[in-house]
Amino acid sequence: MHISKFVSLLLFVVSFNTICQNSKKIENYTFDELSEKYYKYKFKDSIKAKKFANFYFNKAIKEKDTVNAIDGKYYLSEVYKNDSIYLNYLDSLISKTKLNPNKMYPTYAFLKKGNLYFNNELFNVSLKNYILASSNLKKNKNDSLNYLLKIRISTLKNFDQKNLESLKILLECNQYYINNKNKVSDNKHSAVLMNISILYAKLKKIDSSNIFINKAIEFAYEKNDNFLKGYCYYLKGRCFFENGAYKKTILNIKKSIPYLIIDENYRNLSLCYSYIAKSYEKLNNEKNALKYHFLVDSLYITTKIPSKKVKNSFNYISHHYKDKGDLKNQLKYIEKQIFVDSIQASVGKNLSKTFTEEYDRPKLIAEKQKIISELNNEVSFYKKLRIYIAIILILSFILFLYQFRKRKKQEQKFDNLTIKLKNKKVVENSANSNTNVQKNLSETIITELLAKLDSFEQQPENFTNNKLTLSILAKELETNSNYLSKVINQKKGCNFSTYLRKLRIDYALDLLEKDATIRKFSIDAIAKEVGFKNAETFSKAFFKETELNPSFYIKQLEKKK
């Protein structure tokens, strides 16, 4: 008896210690742990689920974590079965942030509202919220939210039977996720890969569909994600169906069903039952076909999710009852078929209208305005270009006229110079004979110096010496610098430097006129030939005497000759 009590006590202590070791205060739970607890009790114990949902939300508020606060409100709306809890919180966020928006809000709140309406099959309202999110993104760019939004819009495009447009968006998203692996969660990228595969399958491009589903499968095994593997089975089954491999369709899709049930993805679960039913039809197995069509019906009764596949199942069941002669049930499923058809038509019509009027048309108008702006800029560019060309042409014409007139003037100067050179000696003699003699020099000295200067001028080697100075020349002429300077100033009408320059330039002109070989010399060589130290001083002196450049004068001489 004592031993039994002792054993019981020992077991109690061990159990208590185990509980204490494994227990963890709720305050220390992470958001992921709280989320797991919430989903654990969601269908089993609503009181505990509410407790964890409340704590999740309060923890987020305490930590000022708005993203997790939004998730907390979603859990509360689920557990209390009241979407207003979630929507009111999102609306309050939108109201607080719309006047002073940032990269995250109110865009994220509109996105979340759109997702809720999407899950509730209110696709038109969902799209309107996505459009509002998109509008905010134009003002405050956020690539992560932008591509999340694109994925949701592509899904709605898919529902609106715009498969090519949907595919184009998803391929763009896939490329973004490939280029930004660090910024993207694995689940989002895998979802894009799977949806691309579905769209290719719908478009009967089976090879492309298989490429993307195989990428998704590789992704699932790399991450060891059982849920992702489950979805991949479903997609693989759809590809087999499009390829006519109905047994493989059934096998793969059946493998996916448990994962879809756990994930509460009732839309895809309905599609699974429908594809299995259609596969059995193709295999002429009416019993199993009917069984899975009834599962589609059963799921519709629970979820009220309409689709084209649901309508097809009702059609099959109504024909079944018709064949049995059961008019009552036949009528029942015809009415169900009509009801689902009307809902789909209404949703499809509204969705198409919203896409056209609020999403596609504004995008087209924006694109049109962009093109018009570009064309206007192009027109403006060409207008400016024409103006610039006109200005350049006018300036070129003015420059041409200026150069033409300048050339004509130079040619006229050349002609005048040629005439002047012919008459030079007459002019000089005339000028010299009329010159007055300065009073303080004797007539004899002046006459002697003029005679010596005349002799000096007749011998070019005298004045082409570039080291010649007034004092050197005075010694050579056996006089003093003062006398010589006065005679040159009075009788030649200029100072010694100018006198020497004139002699040298006159000699250069005479040489160039008479000697074709000299005309072929460089300007520097000609300069040294006539007594200048370099081309620059020669060119300046030449221009001063003739108002022409040596090179131009030589060219004109060549033309004349």
**CB atoms closer than 10 angstroms to residue 35:** 18
Give the residue carrying structure tokens 């003093």. Answer: 480
> Cα dist. 416→239, 280, 422, 424, 426 in Å?
100, 114, 10, 12, 16
Res 16: pLDDT: 36
Separation between Cα atoms, residue 241 and residue 206, nearest integer Å: 10
- pLDDT exceeds 90 at position 418: no
* DSSP characters over 421-489: HHTHHHHHHHHHHTPPPPTTS-HHHHHHHHHHHHHHHH-HHHHT-TT--HHHHHHHTTS-HHHHHHHII
- pLDDT tens digits, one per residue of 158-173: 877 888 999 999 999 9
Q: Where is pLDDT greater, at 228 or 411?
A: 228
CB proximity list for 463: less than 8 A, separation 6 or greater:
456, 457, 500, 503, 504, 507, 531
The pLDDT value recorded for residue 83 is 93
Task: Identify whether the C-beta of residue 292 lies closer than 8 Å to the C-beta of residue 277.
Answer: yes
Task: Dig out the tokens for 251 from the structure.
Answer: 């096998």
**What pLDDT is stored for residue 158 in this prediction?**
84
pLDDT tens profile 487-502: 989 888 899 999 999 9
Burial group, residue 133, by CB count within 10 angstroms (0-12, 13-18, 19+): buried
Residues 6+ apart with CB under 8 A from 104: 66, 142, 145
In this prediction, residues 340-345 reach a mean pLDDT of 76
Smallest CA-to-CA distance from 300 within 254, 257, 337 is with: 337
User: Which two structure tokens, joined as six digits, stand for 98?
Assistant: 């719309």
Least confidently predicted of 29-43, 81-95, 373-387, 504-518: 373-387
Q: What pLDDT digit, counting tens, does each position of 269-311 carry?
A: 999 999 999 999 999 999 999 999 999 999 989 888 888 888 8
- Of the two residues 560 and 246, the one the predictor is more confident about is 246
Q: How far is 3 from 385, CA to CA, in rounded Å?
A: 108
Does 1 score more than 50 pLDDT?
Answer: no
What residues have CB less than 8 Å from 549, skipping those under 6 apart?
Answer: 539, 542, 543
DSSP assignments along 129-155, one per residue: HHHHHHHHHHHS--HHHHHHHHHHHHH
pLDDT of residue 227: 79
- Could you give the C-alpha distances from 289 to 163, 274, 281, 299, 333, in angstroms and in order? 28, 9, 6, 16, 16
Q: Is the pLDDT of residue 382 over 80?
A: no
As a whole number of angstroms, the distance between CA 514 and CA 332 comes to 126
How many Å apart are CA 521 and CA 504, to the nearest integer? 17
Token code pair at residue 501: 């320059």
% residues pLDDT > 90 (the chain): 34
* pLDDT, tens only, 224-243: 888 788 888 888 898 889 88
Cis peptide before 460 (omega within 30 of 0): no
Please give the structure tokens belonging to residue 553. Answer: 């004068």
Of the pLDDT bands very low, low, confident and very high (cuts 50, 70, 90), residue 439 is low
Determine contact, residues 234/253, Cβ cutoff 8 Å. yes
Check residue 15 and give its pLDDT. 40
Which of residues 277 and 425 earns the better pLDDT score? 277
Look at 79-88, 95-104, 197-206 and tell me which has the smallest mean pLDDT.
197-206
CA distance 465 to 549: 23
What is the C-alpha separation between 500 and 91, in angstroms, rounded?
102
Question: 537 pLDDT band (50/70/90 cuts)?
Answer: very high
Q: Which class for 411: exposed (0-12), middle (13-18), buried (19 or more C-beta within 10 A)? A: middle
pLDDT score, position 96: 93
Q: What percent of the chain has pLDDT over 70?
A: 83
| Whether pLDDT at 23 is above 80 | no
Residue 198 has pLDDT above 90, yes or no: no
- Report the pLDDT value the prediction gives residue 68, as an integer from 0 to 100: 94
pLDDT attached to residue 370: 55
Q: Which residue has better confidence, 322 or 347?
A: 322
Q: What is the mean pLDDT of residues 120-142?
A: 89
Taking each helix axis as running N to C, give the angle between helix 186-202 and helix 143-159, from 0 to 180 degrees, rounded to the nearest 10.
Answer: 30
What residues contact residue 407 under an 8 Å CB cut-off, 6+ apart? none
Highest mean pLDDT among 4-8, 29-33, 302-306: 29-33
pLDDT of residue 354: 63
pLDDT class of 540 with cuts at 50, 70, 90? very high
What are the b/e assignments for 528-553, b being 16+ CB within 10 Å?
Answer: bbbbbeebeebbebbeebbebebebb
Read off the pLDDT of residues 238-253 as tens digits, 9 standing for 90 and up. Answer: 888 988 899 999 999 9
pLDDT of res. 209: 87
Confidence of residue 389 (pLDDT cuts 50, 70, 90): confident
pLDDT of amino acid 541:
92
CB distance 417 to 543 below 8 Å = no
Encoding tokens for residue 393? 């042409």
What is Dmax (Cα atoms) for the chain? Answer: 172
Q: 374: pLDDT confidence band, cut at 50, 70 and 90?
A: low
297 C-beta neighbours (distance < 10 Å), count: 18
Sorting pLDDT into bands at 50, 70 and 90, what band is 377? low
